[in-house]
Amino acid sequence: MPEAAAIAARHIPVLRDRVVDLARPLGARVEAPRFLDATLGLGGHSQALLEACPTAELLGLDRDREALALASARLAPFGARVHTMHSRFSASCKALDELGWQSVDFALIDIGVSSMQLDEGQRGFSLHANGPLDMRMDQGEGPSAADLVNTLPFEKLREIIATLGEDPMAQRIARAICEARARAPIRETLALADIVSQAYPRAWRAKSRHHPATRTFQALRMVVNNELGELETFLDSILARLSPGGRLCVITFHSLEDRLVKRSMRRWASGCLCPPHAPVCRCHHQPEVELLTKKPLVADREELARNPRASSAKLRACEKLAVPQALPTTEERDQESV
């Protein structure tokens, strides 16, 4: 597939070297490590991982069939070391079951849209190339962005744009959308981009570094694809499928997503989870992971110069403890219950 080769040639995934550095020790520790890349995208991270760990096998998932086809072509030279499946990452455990893998040594998600999705007008994510207002990553499944924009009540639209888009102009934007759709349904990306842009005060529009509709588009995309729900389900289930000593690496582009990842990893890494005022521990929670990133890793200046989209990327990683921490003895438990 020459097109795949061309895309692959100019595509360097975000924080690639950091991801590879986190995975490389597993290649040395485990004879034939198993990797899960649950957001295959264009296959850039997977390719780098397979090159860095020559005995590793990898399962790649994506909910976008077009991305899956491109990545599969890109990774074809690795032959039987690569398995790909069309799946959401919330269903990673099911995908692992299908392959007969009980556990993995390294799991990665690099959340969000791929550059291919963003650039192609027909996918409906682009602010610059016109196309149908779609935004569904798994083409054709569930309501599109046009369905939401033309049917959601004003208050719901405002709330989505304010919370997921973190746009201070949410009220004005939601009102402008409702007025526009009363005249005619909003069906195309550039029509919506223009409506949002016009809703901004002129002075704000002039000083903004990004297109004024960037945040609204992001908010709609997150709802259309249930992105926070996908992440929560993934975080709730993946730890059980990491092998002892296995590592989890999550790259996010949105503060709400990063907060979910931070909270989950901190909870897994902590001992007692009882409320601070509890006189004795009753939860008996033991640390399950060690944090590998106390603060999120971010792109350096060189990467930002090459890829400005990396500016909001945050990477957090943890390692599952090899030996489960000892549970309290019966004596200790008895003492606590006195």
Ligand X SMILES: C[S@@+](CC[C@H](N)C(=O)[O-])C[C@H]1O[C@@H](n2cnc3c(N)ncnc32)[C@H](O)[C@@H]1O
Using alpha carbons, select from 165, 316, 164, 314 the residue that is nearest to residue 252.
Answer: 314
For CA atoms 223, 111, 113, 1, the dihedral sign is negative
Task: Tell me the angle at which helices 189-199 and 170-183 cross, rounded to the nearest 10 degrees.
Answer: 130
Cα–Cα distance between 43 and 62 in angstroms, integer?
Answer: 10
Three-class SS state of 38: coil
Burial of 215 (0-12, 13-18, 19+ CB in 10 A): buried
| Contact flag: residue 310 with ligand X (CB under 6 A) | no
Residue 283 binds: one of Zn ion, ligand X, none (C-beta under 5 to 8 A by kind): Zn ion
Nearest approach in angstroms of CB 275 to Zn ion is 9
Residue 174 or residue 251: which is nearer to ligand X going by CB?
Answer: 251
| Contact flag: residue 62 with ligand X (CB under 6 A) | yes
Binding mask 12-51 for ligand X (x = CB under 6 A): -x-------------------------x-xxxxx------
| Contact flag: residue 303 with ligand X (CB under 6 A) | no
Nearest approach in angstroms of CB 286 to ligand X is 30
Nearest approach in angstroms of CB 110 to ligand X is 4
Nearest approach in angstroms of CB 271 to Zn ion is 7
| Contact flag: residue 137 with ligand X (CB under 6 A) | yes
Residue 314 binds: one of Zn ion, ligand X, none (C-beta under 5 to 8 A by kind): none
| Contact flag: residue 123 with ligand X (CB under 6 A) | no
DSSP state of 62: E
Phi-psi bin for 36: left (phi > 0), alpha (psi -120 to 50), beta?
beta
Nearest approach in angstroms of CB 65 to ligand X is 9
Binding mask 198-237 for ligand X (x = CB under 6 A): --------------------------------x-------
> Please, are residues 220 and 160 in contact by the beta-carbon 8 Å criterion?
yes
Residue 272 binds: one of Zn ion, ligand X, none (C-beta under 5 to 8 A by kind): Zn ion
Residue 226 or residue 286: which is nearer to ligand X going by CB?
Answer: 226
Residue 30 or residue 48: which is nearer to ligand X going by CB?
Answer: 48
Residue 114 or residue 197: which is nearer to ligand X going by CB?
Answer: 114
Cα–Cα distance between 315 and 298 in angstroms, integer?
Answer: 6
Residue 81 or residue 285: which is nearer to Zn ion going by CB?
Answer: 285
Looking only at residues 71 through 110 of this chain, which bind ligand X when binding is defined by CB under 6 A?
88-90, 110
Residue 192 or residue 250: which is nearer to ligand X going by CB?
Answer: 250
Cα–Cα distance between 233 and 91 in angstroms, integer?
Answer: 8
Q: What share of the chain is helix, strand, coil (3-state, %, to 5)?
A: 50, 15, 35
Q: In what order do the strands lie in the sheet with 57-62?
A: 82-86, 57-62, 34-37, 104-110, 242-252, 314-320, 289-291
Which residues would be at the binding site for ligand X (CB under 6 A)? 13, 39, 41-45, 61-64, 67, 88-90, 110-112, 114, 137, 230
